[in-house]
Structure 1
Amino acid sequence: MQEITGTYNVTFVIVSIIIAILSSYIALDMCSRINRTTGWQKFYWFISSSILMALGIWSMHFLSMLAYKLPTQVTYEPGMVTLSVICAFIGTSIAFYLSSIRLTVLRLMAGGICMGAAIASMHYVGMMAMRLDG
């Protein structure tokens, strides 16, 4: 059996870190506006912050996966990639919802668990989308 070793494109890794920092900061700032608005504006801030956080998590992860170069061709199954984005969105939405209604320690912890579950499920579904030769 032969071991497959890969290398990382450092530029991609640095860009993915910047994406993670910026998207998290902006999405959490947008989420903080949920409690300061009413009506359709509340829904707008909720949806837009959830989408931004989910896409930030997903793009950081996917860019990091693209940064890893293997000596074999790697392709991605579009349906599974889409499902990984949906996992990130659902978990992020639940986390932001829990943290936007009368914030308590229990809700904050539940929101953190949901955010962690969103990241973990997005990661595993995204890894299942990878197709390698061999």
Structure 2
Amino acid sequence: MGHLDHAAFGWLTPVLSYAMACIGAALGLRCTVRALAATGRSRRNWLITAASAIGTGIWTMHFVAMLGFAVSGTEIRYDVPLTVLSLVVAMAVVGAGVFAVGYGRHRLRALALGGLTTGLGVASMHYIGMAALRLHGSVRYDPGLVVLSVAIAVVAATAALWAALTIEAPIAVAVASLVMGVAVSSMHYTGMIAVSVRITPSGDALPGVSAMQFIFPLAVGLGSYLFLTSAFVALSPTAGERAASASAQRLSEEPA
């Protein structure tokens, strides 16, 4: 059995991955709040942004954490198509959950469906990402811990969507995002604890690319997307601010 190291660079990758999860959650929650206050095309666009933010944040969290993953006795490479598929699945399935909440007529039903769908999307992204691993050996999972990791993902997603439906104050959203970051990180590391690797010594070259060749540049690019989108959302006026501005303009145009 190969010895697994989940933090080969010390606390750097766990802390940075947690920050990415929090940023993605905060941005996604703010966009969902904006969507629920909007109508028509504006609501749709805010929900798309929310889905991309949450999906990107979760994916970046996972693969930044994987930068610190090492197995004694073998190098690790990643299958590029599967890695990209994990990102697409994260955005698509999380999007389905967010849209269920954004357009659901019955709040509790929409929350349950959205939380389940989003949670399964998070778990699917994680295990597709793990399937992209290429190493000299075989990867096995503890079924009980896998089920627990999926349950954590569903509960975390449901709690995040509940916060989006219930909380509007920026400070409360920030707190909810920190909690969501803990939940997503817990799901990831629970899934990683479920992993065991049986090494098969070999001198053959592994297929795929190294983390620094592909994962790191992509994570940096997606992280930049999160920061830029966060700035856009922060600078974009809310529905209340637009209404207040319109009211002030009307008052200024009225004859004295």
Q: TM-score range by the shorter chain?
A: 0.7 to 0.9
Deviation at 1:55, TM superposition (A): 0.7
State the partner residue of 2:86.
16
From 60, 65, 75, the equivalent of 1:5 is: 75
1:12 maps to a residue whose letter is L
1:94/1:114 contact within 8 Å kept: no
TM-score (norm 1): 0.86
Matched, 1:82 2:147: yes
Look up the SS of the partner of 2:129 in the other structure.
helix
Among residues 119, 136, 147, which one is paired with 1:71 in the alignment?
136
Q: What letter matches 1:16 in structure 2?
A: S
Q: Spell out the pairing of 1:1-134 with structure 2 (5 A cutoff).
A: 3-33=73-103, 37=105, 41-133=106-198
**What is the rounded CA distance, in whole Å, between the counterparts of 1:76 and 1:120 in structure 2?**
18
For residues 101 and 174 of structure 2, the distance between their equivalents in structure 1, rounded to whole angstroms, comes to 16
Point out 4+ residue stretches in structure 1 off by more than 6 angstroms: none
**Alpha-carbon separation, structure 1, partners of 2:159 and 2:78:** 33
State the structure with more CA Rg: 2
**Distance in 1 (alpha carbons) for counterparts of 2:75 and 2:126:** 20
- Find the aligned partners of 1:102 and 1:16 in 2 and give their Cα distance: 30
- Which runs of no fewer than 5 residues in structure 1 stay unpaired? none
Cα distance in 1 for residues equivalent to 2:167 and 2:193: 37
Separation in 2, partners of 1:7, 1:102: 42
Measured in 1, the distance between the counterparts of 2:102 and 2:171 equals 18
Q: Return the letter of the residue paired with 2:86.
A: S
The one-letter code matched in structure 1 to 2:75 is T
CA offsets per residue over residues 102-121 of structure 1, 9 Å max, x none?
A: 42212322332232222101
Matched AA of 1:120: S
- Alpha-carbon distance between aligned partners in 2 of 1:114 and 1:29, rounded to the nearest angstrom: 22
- Secondary structure (helix, strand or coil) at the match of 2:98 reads helix
Q: Give 1:7 deviation, angstroms.
A: 1.6
Aligned 8 A contact 2:95 2:118 in 1: no
Amino acid of the structure 2 residue aligned with 1:81: V
% identical equivalent positions: 25
What is the rounded CA distance, in whole Å, between the counterparts of 1:96 and 1:25 in structure 2? Answer: 12
Give the direction of change, closer, same or farther, for the CA distance of 1:111–1:31 in structure 2 (3 Å limit).
farther
Name the Cα RMSD after superposition: 1.7
Aligned residue pairs total 128
Normalising to structure 2: TM-score of the pair? 0.47
Distance in 2 (alpha carbons) for counterparts of 1:22 and 1:130: 26
The Cα offsets for residues 28-78 of structure 1, whole Å up to 9 and x where unpaired, read as: 2222235xx3xxx21110011001111111101110011001101111111
